[in-house]
Amino acid sequence: MNIGDKIKKLRIEKDLSQEQLGALIGVKKAAIHKYETGIVVNLKQSTIAKLAEVLGTTPAYLISDETPSASIREEKDIEKILAQAKEQLMDAEGLMFDGEPASPEAIDSILSAMKIGIAMAKEENKKYIPKKYRKD
């Protein structure tokens, strides 16, 4: 199942129209249609993060070929890490992003990328858990 199929499936499960989903993540209905049909396949990390949040899944699930496997505990762990990172980023004096003082939007963009990276790393690390400890 590709990313477009997953977006469409989850959107329908949430009983959202393409227009409603677009409004929730800040894009037009046409963009959602393009995502679902595969016309646009290289989505920005921030868009993937917004889609995952609205659709109640993880960015790693949307971009992978696997079924969702992040447990509630893993999600809470990720949120805790991101909350700590956000606090540190907001408190940092002289934090620069692209040569200018970091705006709240830039910090959110950094956090979105971190969330995707953490989720992907956790998923990748599961491959190295000994079989007797796996919860497959």
pLDDT tens per residue, range 66-110:
555 556 677 788 888 888 888 888 877 777 777 778 888 888 888
* Same domain flag for 99 and 77: yes
Please state the separation of Cα 120 from the chain's center in Å: 10
85 & 127 share domain: yes
- Check residue 71 and give its pLDDT: 64
Domain stop point among 15, 40, 63: 63
Same domain, 46 and 79: no
pLDDT of res. 60: 83
pLDDT in tens, 42-59: 888 889 999 999 998 888
How does DSSP assign 52-67, residue by residue? HHHHTS-HHHHHSSSP
Confidence (pLDDT) at 7:
92
Query: pTM, whole model, 2 decimals?
Result: 0.52
Structural domain total, the chain: 2
- Same domain for 52 and 77, yes or no, is no
Residue 78 contacts residue 53 (beta carbons within 8 Å): no
56 and 76 co-located in one domain: no
Helix and strand totals (H; E) in the chain: 7, 2
For residue 27, the enclosing domain spans 3-63
Per-residue pLDDT tens digits for 6-48: 999 999 988 999 999 999 999 999 999 999 998 887 888 889 9
